[in-house]
Structure 1
Amino acid sequence: MSNEKPAIMPLAPVSRVRQVADAVVDYVSRSGLKPGDRIPAERELMSALGVGRSTIREVIRHFQSLGVMETRKGSGTFLLKPISSATIHMPLSLDAVNLRDALLQTLEVRRGIEAEAAMAAARRRTAADLKVIAEKLNEMERVHLSKGTSGPEDLQFHLAIYDATHNPLFRQLLEQMREAFEKFWAEPFDRPDFARRSFPYHRTLFDAITAQDTEAARRETLKILDVVEEDIKEMSK
């Protein structure tokens, strides 16, 4: 029997947004803030945590999507519900030992959620929703055509579709599973061309949502995810 000790695996990198979210939760806990209390202003959080405005705003949007904070124009951001680390981070776990298996398992979840979200968005989208989705799509296409890849912009496009469902649970689920889902927007297998072939289907998905064609919205979403699956299997050989 071998006496070799098992290797200690390196920790996965923690995103800056996750670190800041944890710091805000810690502050709320230590300060004894209760629902209805105002949290520190953006500038104060930026100074205390040493991060930029965009990071603070993304964290606040994360809390808003979870329904635990609310920003009131001209007044600031207020706590709506008690929060803790257990509140803001769903304890997801994957038994997959490699990136390929982790992506394929996560993709199964994405298929169910995103197909339903696309159909709901097609049914309920407003003119204001379409304007936001179009802006995100145009930015995604601009970056894609100039750089050949559009990870963060792709994510923002899908988030806009989730918001157009007018069902906050879609956005909350994505926020809770962000770390698993972000693997798709971080150049898996160090390949900037990952899922590049899905690019045209984002425009046809937008067209389906605009036309309020729920079946087409579902179909175009699945086309995107089919390309993703094909690339996972091809690039992980």
Structure 2
Amino acid sequence: MSDLSSASAAIDGSRTDRVIDSIKSMIVQGELKAGDRLPVEKELSRRFGVSRGSLREAVRALASLGVLETRQGAGTYVTDLDPTALLSPLGFYADLQDAAQAAHLLSVRRVLETEAAGLAAIRLGEEELDELDAILDAVQAAVTRGSVNPEEFIDADAAFHRAIAAASGNPALSALIDALVTRTLRGRLWRAITDRDSVNVAHAEHRAVLVALRARDPQGSRIRMAAHLLGVEEFAAAHPVETDPGTPTDAAASDAADASDQ
């Protein structure tokens, strides 16, 4: 790329960034609210002093972040600014981390989920506690049979932790937990656990968390969740999965495809 082309690209980028900052300011200052339609392109281009091309680039960027939504033939709208959608790009970051860096994410997860458990202990209803019980009962049945399905285990683990995070009453906290502990990371943890027969330990720790939650004991819930996740964190650090096996379903599909080619 020539120097002139590089300079032109830099100028276009700065204009796009300026539009992004301007639209963000409109939302922060209350000029635009969740669900509002943006003014037409011509008006915004004149207001921001940029071309329609720069404006569209900014809109596309904000749409990818979950801030804006373009509706065919109806214009561009501010989304409901749901924290799950806005924080989901963190999951992309989490998926890109190698085995060594994944330990850092687990440390962050421990801090967040420990607090979520404490908050959930005073907010969970009986029905929600029964749902947590049912999740663990299903895992116990599989453990007793000695045939824990990787997909089912990962789904049960995710459902258990997500239900507790959601019950914290803090949508941002719940969204952060959900974004940081992705299916790829759970798949890596499953690989480490099953290779070393630690399912029973993890299951017993889940039960201990649930006992504290049922007792409406915030501090006990925090301690049990912290102990559980610290164990997961230390175990993963001591037994890293050097190659990413993907999710169990992905691995099974790959094996099946290989077999069909032979």
Shorter-chain TM-score bucket reads 0.5 to 0.7
Distance in 2 separating the partners of 1:139 and 1:212? 23
Give the partner amino acid of 2:203.
Answer: F
Q: CA deviation at 1:145?
A: 3.9
Q: Structure 1, residues 41-86: CA drift from partner, whole Å, max 9, x if none? A: xxxxxxxxxxxxxxxxxxxxxx9663x7xxxxxxxxxxxxxxxxx7
1:134 corresponds to: 133
Is 2:203 the partner of 1:202? no
Is 2:236 the partner of 1:232? yes
Give the partner amino acid of 2:154.
Answer: G
What is the RMSD of the two structures over their aligned residues, measured on CA atoms?
A: 3.7
Report 1 or 2 for greater relative contact order, CA contacts < 8 Å, sequence distance ≥ 6.
Answer: 2
1:54 corresponds to: none
Distance in 2 separating the partners of 1:130 and 1:228? 23
Is 2:171 the partner of 1:168? yes
Structure 2: runs of 5+ lacking an equivalent? 1-62, 242-262
Q: Which has the higher helix share?
A: 2
2:25 corresponds to: none
Give the partner amino acid of 1:233.
Answer: A
Q: CA deviation at 1:97?
A: 7.0
Give the partner amino acid of 2:70.
Answer: S
Distance in 1 separating the partners of 2:125 and 2:191? 38
1:103 corresponds to: 102
CA gap of 1:229–1:90, structure 2 versus 1, over 3 A, is: closer
**Which TM-score applies when normalising by structure 2?**
0.53
CA gap of 1:190–1:162, structure 2 versus 1, over 3 A, is: closer
CA gap of 1:222–1:109, structure 2 versus 1, over 3 A, is: same
Distance in 2 separating the partners of 1:110 and 1:88? 15
CA gap of 1:129–1:190, structure 2 versus 1, over 3 A, is: closer
Give the partner amino acid of 2:132.
Answer: I
CA gap of 1:91–1:111, structure 2 versus 1, over 3 A, is: closer
1:186 corresponds to: 187
2:116 corresponds to: 117
1:103–1:183 contact (8 Å) kept in structure 2 = no
1:152 corresponds to: 155
Query: What is the aligned length?
Result: 169
SS in 1 for 2:169: coil
Give the partner amino acid of 2:222.
Answer: R
Distance in 2 separating the partners of 1:111 and 1:154? 15
Q: Structure 1, residues 154-178: CA drift from partner, whole Å, max 9, x if none? A: 1111011112212212221123334
SS in 1 for 2:121: helix
2:70 corresponds to: 29
**Which TM-score applies when normalising by structure 1?**
0.57
Distance in 2 separating the partners of 1:111 and 1:219? 11
Distance in 2 separating the partners of 1:87 and 1:228? 24
Distance in 2 separating the partners of 1:97 and 1:171? 21
2:106–2:233 contact (8 Å) kept in structure 1 = yes
Q: CA deviation at 1:230?
A: 3.0
**Identity over aligned pairs, percent:** 21
